[in-house]
């Protein structure tokens, strides 16, 4: 970078003549990945997801705050940083069993089910002792170890699957051994998924929801969702849908990412 000049180099050469990029950023490199995406945006390159929206979605606490403000259904969620607040935190989410999540966790890693108050207190205090940030959420019994992922591209749902945890496991992530099958979403599930993506400003994402007695509850909105599982479950070319979205934006002459300022 220099005055009036922004460039990106790869393998020792400047990257030139790029119309659009599709950010696929691992959780461990969120800072660097979003910095590169932001640099492309400064160069006038269209990004399938804006850097700010990716950053929003990667912060589990911030994303849940945004979803709550938007009136989107979600499990009751609590956050605290002091051991003296543990009892109130547990009561806030409806008692045990409850789910404890690392804010930086991904693919089900750093997610713990505490079935008793004593276990919850021990796990929460242990995390506090390690100086890591966590969320505490109510456990949705009626989901029975399953969740739904709706894949959103450009304000439309292009595929959906139901993931079910393997025996003895409550996390349904495919990386944890869960299975996936095609599912037809209800109107409320479709509306919830689209509203969640819109609230976070994501054009391409996977919206993970639990089926509950009070309707669909959003657990997470993933800005770099895996493609293999959803394509296998639905038989659809999801990657092709993303490319079509970029082609449409380019053909319409809108190849620049808008600079949006917000939460």
Q: What is the CATH number of the domain that holds 87?
A: 3.30.1490.20
Please name the residues in contact with 106: beta carbons below 8 A apart, sequence gap of 6 or more: 27
**% of the chain at pLDDT higher than 70:** 88
pLDDT at 7: 87
pLDDT at 260: 41
Please say which residue of 113, 139, 165 terminates a domain.
Answer: 139
pLDDT at 175: 53
pLDDT at 243 over 60: yes
For residue 141, which of 83, 211, 71 has the smallest C-alpha distance? 211
How far apart (Å, rounded) are the C-alpha atoms in residues 83 and 64?
Answer: 22
pLDDT at 171: 61
Q: Is the domain of 9 the same as that of 115?
A: no
Residue range 95-109: average pLDDT? 80
Residue range 152-162: average pLDDT? 97
pLDDT at 106: 60
**% of the chain at pLDDT higher than 90:** 66
pLDDT at 105 over 60: no
Residue with tokens 């591209």: 153
Confidence of residue 262 (pLDDT cuts 50, 70, 90): very low
Q: Is the domain of 194 the same as that of 223?
A: yes
Residue range 226-250: average pLDDT? 93
Domain count across the chain: 2
Range of the domain at 258: 1-73+141-263
Residue range 156-171: average pLDDT? 81
Helix axes 51-58, 187-200, angle to 10 degrees: 110
Confidence of residue 263 (pLDDT cuts 50, 70, 90): very low
pLDDT at 261: 33
Q: Is the domain of 6 the same as that of 102?
A: no
Dihedral (CA of 246, 250, 256, 259) sign: negative
Please calculate the CA angle 256-260-261 and round it to the nearest 5 degrees.
155
Q: Is the domain of 184 the same as that of 97?
A: no
pLDDT at 179 over 70: yes
Confidence of residue 253 (pLDDT cuts 50, 70, 90): low
Residue range 15-28: average pLDDT? 90
Q: Is the domain of 135 the same as that of 145?
A: no
* CATH number, position 61: 3.30.470.20
Residue range 169-197: average pLDDT? 82
Q: Is the domain of 127 the same as that of 174?
A: no
Q: Is the domain of 12 the same as that of 84?
A: no
Residue range 133-143: average pLDDT? 91
pLDDT at 180 over 90: no
Please say which residue of 139, 166, 192 terminates a domain.
Answer: 139
| Residue of higher predicted confidence among 218 and 168 | 218
Dihedral (CA of 228, 184, 60, 260) sign: positive
Q: Is the domain of 156 the same as that of 133?
A: no
Q: Is the domain of 212 the same as that of 156?
A: yes
Residue range 188-200: average pLDDT? 98
Confidence of residue 90 (pLDDT cuts 50, 70, 90): very high
pLDDT at 249: 86
Q: Is the domain of 51 the same as that of 171?
A: yes
Q: Is the domain of 159 the same as that of 229?
A: yes
């Amino acid at each position: 970078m220099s005055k009036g000049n922004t460039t990106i180099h790869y393998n020792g050469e400047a990257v030139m003549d790029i119309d659009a990029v599709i950010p696929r950023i691992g959780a461990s490199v969120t800072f660097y990945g979003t910095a590169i995406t932001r640099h492309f945006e400064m160069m006038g390159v269209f990004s399938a997801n804006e850097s700010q929206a990716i950053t929003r979605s990667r912060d589990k606490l911030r994303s849940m705050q945004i979803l709550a403000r938007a009136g989107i259904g979600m499990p009751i969620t609590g956050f605290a940083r002091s051991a003296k607040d543990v009892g109130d935190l547990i009561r806030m989410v409806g008692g045990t069993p409850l789910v404890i999540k690392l804010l930086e966790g991904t693919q089900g890693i750093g997610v713990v089910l505490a079935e008793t108050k004593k276990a919850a207190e021990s796990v929460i205090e242990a995390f506090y002792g390690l100086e890591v940030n966590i969320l505490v959420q109510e456990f949705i019994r009626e989901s029975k170890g399953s969740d739904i992922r709706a894949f959103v591209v450009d304000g439309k749902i292009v595929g959906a699957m139901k993931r079910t945890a393997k025996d003895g496991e409550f996390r349904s992530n495919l990386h944890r051994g869960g299975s996936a099958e095609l599912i037809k979403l209800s109107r409320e599930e479709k509306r919830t998924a689209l509203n969640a993506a819109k609230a976070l400003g994501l054009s391409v994402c996977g919206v993970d929801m639990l089926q509950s007695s009070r309707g669909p509850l959003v657990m997470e909105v993933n800005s770099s969702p895996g493609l293999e599982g959803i394509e296998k479950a639905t038989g659809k070319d999801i990657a092709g849908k993303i490319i079509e979205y970029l082609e449409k934006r380019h053909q319409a002459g809108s190849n620049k990412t808008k600079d949006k300022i917000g939460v």
